[in-house]
Amino acid sequence: MIEHDVLIGSLMEDSWLTLEQVAAACVVEPDWLLRHIEAGLFPHAESVAGVWRFSGEALLRARRMRQLERDFDAVPELAALVADLLDEMDRLRARLRGLGAD
């Protein structure tokens, strides 16, 4: 049986993760992530001095996309579209909570 470390907790907005850290958190190979970056599916990833870095938001996106691809056999572009929609729903729910609506 293979045991995987689970990344639990919240990420600070100013914290950055490496390509390897995001890949490990999503239980994918770094090449999976690179293919998705090259396809333009991670608009928030940035390369600084040739090193990719990711925000907490990008980690959530990567996890969602991987889950959609795995669970529904979704192509990467469809997984990215659904991840965008889920992100927008999260933002709208947060706005509603901020306005006092549940």
* 73 alpha carbon, distance to own chain's centre: 17
| Torsion of the alpha carbons at 77, 80, 86 and 91, rounded to the nearest 10 | -130
Mean pLDDT in each 10-residue stretch from start to end of the chain (102 residues)?
A: 48 77 96 96 90 93 97 97 96 94 70
Beta strands per DSSP E along the chain = 17-18, 46-48, 51-54
Q: How far apart are CA 59 and CA 25, in angstroms?
A: 8
Domain annotation for the chain: domains and CATH numbers: 17-98 (1.10.1660)
- pLDDT of 13: 55
SS3 42: coil
